[in-house]
């Protein structure tokens, strides 16, 4: 019976495959063609123009710096949150619910929230003025204060993007039976050893997923940066946006898009290699 109907599974997944092919693969191919062609003939002109652009190196540097600063902090915070909430009995669900609120906020809205805090007439300056720490409104987000601007963007990104890492880590921690930690405790492992030698190796799959997802998203950072720094802090997606909308140059915008994709793929491959998940060594 089942052999005669072997086409049914294919039929059932056809809509999703067709949908993705239409709305993902076709634009992908178009984008790549757009990036590497000029007037209908293959050409490196767009890529060359992108690399010669004044903001190119800065945007790459900014994007990487931000990713390197934000992702490890997010991972550490998420691990701390996940470990702490595991100890909580009653109210655990409520705490998780509150912690995941940033997930429900769009990145632009998050950027605007932090803008209202950090702009010259924002809450942060009001607080500092009220406490008498500063004499007059300080500027945190201008091109004259690049370090403060970087910190502001990093903090906003950490606030906004840690929840998703935490959700994945908590799911991973839930997969580890408490007996593993208890056995380690019985045999003399302290809290720190239990965390490094038992918990962390056992949540490798969750760590891998969280890192890949979060890193790829970090390379695509845009709205928070745009809201807080505008063009004072160029990042890769911001440049693609500018070439597309301000300069109306779709070819260079496509070149940026392809570059972001290559970086993301490379990062994913590095994680897959670096954090190998051997199903044989999992619970």
Residues near another protein (CB under 8 A) are 177, 179-180, 182-190, 193, 198, 201-202, 279-283
Instruction: Please return the burial class of 163, using the count of CB atoms within 10 Å of its CB with bins 0-12, 13-18 and 19+.
Output: buried
Cβ 171 to another protein shortest distance, Å? 18
The strand pairing partners of 37, in sequence order, are 42
Q: Any idea of the CA torsion for 147, 225, 217, 72, to the nearest 10 degrees?
A: 20
Cβ 169 to another protein shortest distance, Å? 17
Cβ 174 to another protein shortest distance, Å? 16
CA atoms of 235 and 50, how far apart (whole Å): 13
Using alpha carbons, list the distances in angstroms from residue 137 to 40, 128, 154, 242, 248: 54, 9, 22, 31, 38
Q: Which is nearer to another protein, 125 or 199 (CB)?
A: 199
Q: Which is nearer to another protein, 198 or 236 (CB)?
A: 198
Q: Which is nearer to another protein, 158 or 275 (CB)?
A: 275
Cβ 182 to another protein shortest distance, Å? 5
Instruction: Please return the burial class of 91, using the count of CB atoms within 10 Å of its CB with bins 0-12, 13-18 and 19+.
Output: exposed
Cα angle, residue 144 at apex, residues 141 and 148 outer, rounded to 5°? 45
Q: Which is nearer to another protein, 270 or 282 (CB)?
A: 282
Cβ 276 to another protein shortest distance, Å? 11
Cβ 10 to another protein shortest distance, Å? 33
Q: Which is nearer to another protein, 183 or 269 (CB)?
A: 183
Q: Quick check: helix, strand or coil at residue 120? A: coil
Cβ 88 to another protein shortest distance, Å? 16
Q: Which is nearer to another protein, 181 or 214 (CB)?
A: 181
For 108-254, where are the E strands, in sequence order? none
Q: Where are the alpha helices (DSSP H) in 175-222?
A: 178-186, 191-193, 200-202, 204-219
Short-list 112, 120, 118, CA closest to 152: 118
CA atoms of 70 and 195, how far apart (whole Å): 22
Short-list 222, 118, 119, CA closest to 161: 222
Cβ 80 to another protein shortest distance, Å? 22
Q: Which is nearer to another protein, 17 or 282 (CB)?
A: 282
Q: Which is nearer to another protein, 130 or 278 (CB)?
A: 278
CA atoms of 271 and 212, how far apart (whole Å): 7
**What residues contact residue 165 under an 8 Å CB cut-off, 6+ apart?**
74, 75, 77, 78, 210, 213, 214
């Amino acid at each position: 019976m089942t052999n005669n109907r072997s086409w049914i599974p294919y039929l059932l997944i056809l809509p999703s495959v067709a949908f993705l092919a239409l709305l993902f693969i076709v634009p992908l191919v178009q984008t790549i063609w757009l990036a590497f062609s000029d007037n209908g003939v293959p050409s490196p002109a767009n890529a060359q123009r992108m690399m010669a652009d004044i903001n190119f190196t800065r945007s790459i540097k900014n994007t990487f710096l931000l990713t390197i600063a934000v992702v490890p902090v997010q991972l550490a915070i998420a691990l701390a949150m996940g470990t702490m909430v595991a100890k909580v009995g009653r109210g655990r669900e409520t705490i998780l619910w509150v912690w995941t609120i940033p997930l429900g906020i769009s990145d632009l809205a998050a950027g605007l929230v932090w803008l209202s805090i950090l702009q010259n007439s924002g809450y942060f300056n009001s607080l500092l003025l009220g406490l008498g720490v500063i004499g007059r409104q300080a500027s945190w987000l201008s091109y004259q204060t690049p370090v403060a601007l970087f910190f502001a963007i990093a903090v906003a990104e950490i606030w906004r993007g840690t929840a998703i890492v935490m959700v994945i880590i908590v799911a991973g921690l839930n997969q580890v039976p408490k007996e593993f930690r208890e056995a380690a405790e019985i045999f003399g492992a302290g809290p720190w050893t239990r965390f490094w030698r038992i918990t962390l190796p056992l949540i490798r799959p969750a760590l891998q997923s969280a890192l890949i997802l979060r890193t790829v998203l970090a390379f695509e950072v845009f709205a928070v940066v745009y809201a807080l720094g505008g063009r004072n802090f160029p990042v890769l997606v911001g440049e693609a946006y500018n070439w597309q909308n301000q300069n109306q140059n779709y070819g260079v915008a496509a070149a940026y898009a392809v570059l972001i994709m290559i970086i993301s793929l490379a990062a994913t491959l590095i994680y897959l290699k670096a954090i190998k998940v051997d199903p044989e060594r999992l619970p």
